Amino acid sequence: MTLEQILRGVQLRRELSGDLRGIEIRGLEYDSRRVEAGFLFFAFPGSRADGREFARSAVERGALAVAGELPSPAGFEGTWIEVEHGRRALARASSNFYGEPDRRLSLTGVTGTNGKTTSAFLIDSILRAAGKTTLLVGTIEYRLAGEVRTAVNTTPESLDLYRMFHELVERGGTHATMEVSSHALALDRVYGITFHTAVFTNLTRDHLDFHSGMDTYFAAKKLLFAPQGAPAPRWAVINTDDARGAEIETTAQVIRYGFSPGADLRASALEMSFEGLRFTVEYRDQKVGLRSPLVGKINAYNILAACGVALSYGFDWQTIARGIADCRQVPGRFERVDQGQPFLVVVDYAHTDDALRSIIAVARELHPKRVITLFGCGGDRDRSKRPLMGMAAGQSSDFVVLTSDNPRSEDPLAIMNDALVGLRRFDVPHIVEPDRAKAIRAAFGQARSGDIVILAGKGHEPYQVLKDRVIHFDDREAAREALKALGWGVTEPRP
């Protein structure tokens, strides 16, 4: 494809000269380490480095031209194309290069603070129950036509998305479901992408290390429903029980879901146990009974969101019910670790104060004797939420273990002290242990028959980010090892 064809619709600061227009481009890249001969390299500013620093390396690897939104660096001798906006240019060029595959697919985007991952898994399960070949893009993993791939970001760069869209089309796929983060919306990673259905789950405090405040955070979320560079989605599925849901403006056809009487898609007669959920869904003149192996009222909301998406695609309730029943567990989302111990152990990704309250509430719905909560706060992130997380754990738990969770460049003890400010507002017994493996053992040492132990924060993550390195650490593995050390799951369980 020629350079002129690839840059169709891209805002340039200078018009391409005639001898550049006909250059044949073999591929696109924004990471200079992956550049090959005949590529066009995009050098846009990143959070840690300016892409222009890698322009020479890209040319040395064979890039025929470099596109950037700033002037070329001093001494650069290659072909430099100055664009108005780097990421928007990458998105438009990627769409052109891969033949606008998003317009040949039915795309669902899910945004919100909590529930994105589980909702996306449920939607994908319904799509597969309907016989569709699908793509799932999210925090835990990417699944393309049944093939599981490692997730780099919750929402990857536009070029990576278009590559996957193109591959899905080539494999005969028709539907894709994406978690769409506020970062991705603010940074134009989904700029120009055409969505069939957009979902809003809820909005609570998070990512204020990136966004300047809650209004800015919400403004980024709303971009999914009134996008720039693309038409509005045909359908919007919005949680009407969340106060922010009413503030979303869109030209899409809207399905509002929730438990409140004003919901278009309404849940009632909810029954909860560790075996799962049973409830009735009312939509227009229909009433349908649904069952799910997922637990907690929070997952009833996620199921409603998935139902709304399925209805936007015209699926029947039999298919919807089958897809919901098939989604038995989402990795790192209230995921059970069972070694035959007499208390329940669950691992969950909850890493905000609201998410902690929600997951503890889910545990309470199972009527345990006590709830023991282990949590930590991430380093190099919004410090103001640390005491709030301490308050959430202290207010709702019977025992708390405060530990470390991806301290990054910060001192783990300093992070934990921030959380202690909130935790100590409540007279709840607690332990402070910075070594997460030891903290998990300590939590189990406190547990008795009939208790629930929540290991919160890491969920599916198999690593711990320290100041100078990243080490392997998986709460699920650490929990199994700790339970074995206590004698569970090794030989006959102790009496």
pLDDT of residue 494: 45
77 compared with 211, residue with greater pLDDT = 77
Same domain, 92 and 107: no
Same domain, 199 and 84: no
- Amino acid of residue 443: A
Q: How far is residue 15 from each of residues 22, 26, 76, 89, 351, measured CA to CA in Å?
A: 14, 21, 19, 14, 48
Cα dihedral angle (50, 53, 58, 63), rounded to 10 degrees?
70
- Amino acid of residue 225: F
Torsions phi, psi for 201 (to 5 deg): -90, -50
Domain span including residue 72: 3-97
Q: Is residue 348 part of a domain?
A: yes
Q: Is residue 137 part of a domain?
A: yes
CA dihedral sign, ordered 393, 394, 397, 401: positive
* pLDDT tens-digit readout, 195-224: 999 999 999 866 666 657 888 999 999 999
CB-facing half-sphere around the CA of 192: CA atoms within 13 A: 20
Residue position matching structure tokens 């001798």:
77
Q: How far is residue 481 from each of residues 217, 318, 446, 475, 486, measured CA to CA in Å?
A: 39, 42, 16, 10, 9
Same domain, 112 and 72: no
Q: Of 53, 73, 97, at which residue does a domain stop?
A: 97
Of 117, 89, 301, the C-alpha closest to 191 is 89
Does the structure show a pLDDT above 50 at 10? yes
Same domain, 321 and 426: no
Residue position matching structure tokens 């695609």:
313
End-to-end CA distance of the chain: 71
CATH number at residue 383: 3.90.190.20
Q: Which stretches does DSSP call E strand in 92-158?
A: 106-111, 134-137, 141-144, 147-150
Same domain, 402 and 347: yes
Helices (H), ranges, 223-372: 297-312, 317-326, 353-365
Residue 325 buriedness (CB in 10 A; 0-12 / 13-18 / 19+): middle
Contacts of 312 (CB under 8 A, 6+ apart): 196, 197, 234, 235, 237, 253, 255
Q: Is residue 346 part of a domain?
A: yes
Query: What is the H or E stretch that residue 27 is in?
Result: strand 27-29
Same domain, 93 and 115: no
Q: Is residue 495 part of a domain?
A: no
Contact of 143 with 136, CB cutoff 8 Å: yes
d(CA 390, CA 394): 6
Average pLDDT in the chain: 94
Q: Is residue 491 part of a domain?
A: no
Q: Which two tokens stand for residue 259?
A: 């438990």
Q: Is residue 464 part of a domain?
A: yes
DSSP annotation of 289: E
Number of domains in the chain: 3
- Amino acid of residue 142: Y
Same domain, 136 and 240: yes
Same domain, 23 and 124: no
Same domain, 376 and 392: yes
* pLDDT tens-digit readout, 141-174: 999 999 999 988 888 999 999 999 999 999 999 9
Residue 42 pLDDT level (bands cut at 50, 70, 90)? very high
d(CA 478, CA 484): 10
Same domain, 48 and 106: no
CATH number at residue 155: 3.40.1190.10
Q: Of 97, 116, 137, at which residue does a domain stop?
A: 97
DSSP annotation of 415: H
CATH number at residue 10: 3.40.1390.10
Query: What is the H or E stretch that residue 399 is in?
Result: strand 399-402
Torsions phi, psi for 92 (to 5 deg): -65, -45
Same domain, 413 and 361: yes
* pLDDT tens-digit readout, 461-472: 999 999 999 999
DSSP labels, 318-344: HHHHHHHHH---BTTBSEE--SS-SSE
Q: Of 309, 326, 343, at which residue does a domain stop?
A: 326
Q: Which two tokens stand for residue 174?
A: 């028709």
Contact of 104 with 301, CB cutoff 8 Å: no
Report yes or no on whether pTM surpasses 0.85: yes
Q: Is residue 358 part of a domain?
A: yes
Contacts of 58 (CB under 8 A, 6+ apart): 29, 32, 35, 39, 41, 43, 66
d(CA 110, CA 371): 31
pLDDT of residue 207: 61
* pLDDT tens-digit readout, 428-446: 999 999 999 999 999 999 9
Contacts of 96 (CB under 8 A, 6+ apart): 1, 5, 6, 7, 8, 9
* pLDDT tens-digit readout, 239-297: 999 999 999 999 999 999 999 999 999 999 999 988 899 999 999 999 999 999 999 99
- Percentage of the chain exceeding pLDDT 70: 96
Chain centre to alpha carbon of residue 46: 20
Helices (H), ranges, 7-115: 18-21, 55-60, 86-97
A 10 A CB-CB count for 307 gives 28
d(CA 368, CA 359): 13
Q: Is residue 494 part of a domain?
A: no
Residue 493 pLDDT level (bands cut at 50, 70, 90)? very low
Of 267, 271, 275, the C-alpha closest to 325 is 275
Same domain, 243 and 265: yes
d(CA 359, CA 455): 10
